[in-house]
Structure 1
């Protein structure tokens, strides 16, 4: 295992002892990290975060399109695309981070073909907005353990959607924990399509804590990413079970970074 990937702290869940998100950014920088990410933005101090980013030189890798809207329900398509527009406008001062899109829930009575076609149409419209703004969208498959009715819970399906849309501004967010929850074989589902993946997130099984606290083979995970020539960052989207300095030390040990 020779690759060392840049690490991005999920300050939504990490460095919480420091206070608000701006303070957590500063703590992440003090811990030797240059990247961070969080979830929804409307309840966050965007101006204070922008100031902290400027002061520290930190960069945001991603945040979520807010509000979340369905990509498979045609009744929500216009709202979904508008949410992308508003998120781009509101977070431009944060350095134009990548924006995470989840699928929303299945629509009762809708066929698989209709779900797929509606998702492609919504994502294509959103990708057009993202292309114009110079922003990357990240489509994220989740899992049925957390969301039993979620449409997109398959890495392969997510990659199929990205391919079908065909935009350079739409890529997949591959979350090792979500994928493991679904029993996927990482090497198999990503084989030949790692170029469609722009961000990877990690947490250990079963309880979504830091790498090294569960059952996943992190040497194998990292070797798989290296073998596939993944060239992005790794998002630490886990709940720390240890004090943050110890949690980060264990994570770095397990990821070789």
Structure 2
């Protein structure tokens, strides 16, 4: 039986683990994606702190659905040496095992030094093949997010990455709102890459570029309802992980401080309302259950054979 679980990136709600757990519990969800705890990236947290976190999550019945790495992210450059990435991947291998997950979010290296496009591509693919192999041998799965970096800059580059480096060590993480911020059609990216997608980040936005403003799910221009209907039409299963960016935006140096309203719980409720209002009526066989969705019957294939393709209707 296919199932979708609702979860979220914890530090979008609160800096401390207790606050992250509380936000999930307010929503009735039990999937937590870990990026930082008390402002410290998971790869840098001492192992005793990881063991304490794992025990607290077990106590509250919460699963770790993935860990965010800094590998290839907005603070890196494609010309950086490999040693920092190797250390982070090794550290996350140990921590992921303690937390009960094997999924690690990565990106594909901004080109801050202005290398020619062809050289940027070659360097990224070389690094990603190596990292994916290293991850697979260590029992990890890398999830490439369509964010800053070579492969996140176009549909063709994403498909090129999967053709060149995809496999048991590398799949895709699709972020629903990144297309608004980076100037491409995020729904079209998903439509063409959905067969490679293992994990979903849920956000919505308006504007674009430097004028991007993040809003509650369903209130923006990211075609979020179309995106979720595409996934249910395929019988997709996995986690829809909330990353609303209403208060926390690491690439801008912004973080929820625990003293102000992060908007995480409001965004979670907006997501559930959107699913009830605009997704389930167009998703035969699916129904809401505590913490997510289940599919009770096989998904019928479209008559034209284009599995997972939905109309542009809102």
Under TM normalisation by the shorter chain, which class is it? 0.7 to 0.9
- Shift in Å, 1:107: 4.8
Mapped pair 1:226 → 2:225:
no
**Residue 203 of structure 1: aligned partner:** 203
Mapped pair 1:171 → 2:171:
yes
The structure 2 residue matched to 1:119, chosen from 96, 110, 124, is: 124
- Shift in Å, 1:97: 3.9
TM-score normalised by the chain length of structure 2? 0.68
The whole-number CA distance in structure 1 between the counterparts of 2:263 and 2:185 is 31
Q: Is the 8 A contact 1:29 1:58 kept in 2?
A: no
- Shift in Å, 1:106: 0.4
Q: Is the 8 A contact 1:201 1:237 kept in 2?
A: yes
CA RMSD of aligned residues (A): 2.8
Higher strand share: 2
> Any idea what the Cα deviations from partners look like across 1:32-67, whole Å, max 9, x if unmatched?
111011323125842332111221221112222247
**Residue 188 of structure 2: aligned partner:** 188
The whole-number CA distance in structure 2 between the counterparts of 1:222 and 1:124 is 30
Q: Secondary structure at the match of 1:24?
A: helix
The structure 2 residue matched to 1:53, chosen from 51, 57, 66, is: 57
The whole-number CA distance in structure 2 between the counterparts of 1:183 and 1:105 is 16
Unaligned runs of 5+ in 1: 144-149
**Residue 9 of structure 2: aligned partner:** 10
Unaligned runs of 5+ in 2: 36-40, 207-212, 247-260, 277-287, 289-314
Query: Larger radius of gyration, structure 1 or 2?
Result: 2
1:254/1:57 CA distance change after superposition, 3 Å:
same
Q: How does 1:23-34 map to 2 (within 5 A)?
A: 23-29=19-25, 31-34=27-30
* Higher mean C-alpha deviation, range 130-139 or range 185-194: 185-194
**Residue 236 of structure 1: aligned partner:** 242
1:245/1:114 CA distance change after superposition, 3 Å:
closer
1:4/1:89 CA distance change after superposition, 3 Å:
closer
Q: Secondary structure at the match of 1:252?
A: helix
**Residue 76 of structure 1: aligned partner:** 81
> Any idea what the Cα deviations from partners look like across 1:167-214, whole Å, max 9, x if unmatched?
212011111110232343344323353121111111111222330343
**Residue 154 of structure 1: aligned partner:** 153
The whole-number CA distance in structure 1 between the counterparts of 2:237 and 2:122 is 30
Q: Secondary structure at the match of 2:66?
A: strand
* Higher mean C-alpha deviation, range 61-70 or range 76-85: 61-70
**Residue 95 of structure 2: aligned partner:** 90
- Shift in Å, 1:131: 0.9
> Any idea what the Cα deviations from partners look like across 1:100-154, whole Å, max 9, x if unmatched?
11223205352222211111111111112211222110112215xxxxxx54442
TM-score normalised by the chain length of structure 1? 0.81
**Residue 146 of structure 2: aligned partner:** 141
Q: Secondary structure at the match of 2:238?
A: coil
Mapped pair 1:64 → 2:68:
yes
**Residue 147 of structure 1: aligned partner:** none
- Shift in Å, 1:84: 1.1
